[in-house]
Amino acid sequence: MKFFIDTANLKDIQEAQDFGVLDGVTTNPTLMAKEGISGDDHVQKHYLDICAIVDGDVSAEVIATDYAGMIYEGEELASLNTKIVVKVPMTKDGIRAIKYFSKKGIKTNCTLVFSAGQALLAAKAGATYVSPFIGRLDDISVDGLGLINEIREIYDNYGFSTQILAASVRNSSHILGCAKIGADVITSPLSAILSLLKHPLTDSGLAQFLADHKRVADQNN
């Protein structure tokens, strides 16, 4: 399973890259705004800065909601760097745009997916990635991991190459649940990935090892 980080913060992206398990980055207009990035030139430069840090795919979202606008923005974003994946919303025009980009060989990420039917349409259109938002489903008492399971079954039934990119992933339980089901990718804050490191027995075991080493070293001095 690939690990993507869901942020536009360059410091967090660099830390995740240095950690050694980062496979890519996802962003959206909200994350860009959080970093104070606005204006086409600044946004495009920021995407290039992200591409300079990571080795894998970088999802860059279109702002337009109409077909022509999505095509214009998507082609402009894709021209920035070969790592760029054009992120397109799950709408009728979005599906049309994904089909267009697929024929052009431009990688896409269909975002704001909340049902298996939507994921099926994205795969039919040739999306590279589909992004079901599991945390937001959990917020309204719908089983987000259950949706990942449904999509996995449908994609496996028909051999779709579209990768399941579990989004709105908020904690280690989400990550492990996605791994058990067979999601291709998760995208989350860095904190959720780092939480996989934690176990009280690891901490206590390491403390014991160090204490024993110090005790023997002190005896030999």
Residues involved in catalysis: 87
Integer Cα distance of 98 and 101 in angstroms: 5
Token pair belonging to 176 = 């492990």
Integer Cα distance of 168 and 136 in angstroms: 7
| 186 in Cβ contact with 166 (< 8 Å) | yes
Alpha-carbon distance values, 129 to 36, 86, 109, 126, 199 (Å): 27, 10, 5, 9, 32
| 126 in Cβ contact with 163 (< 8 Å) | no
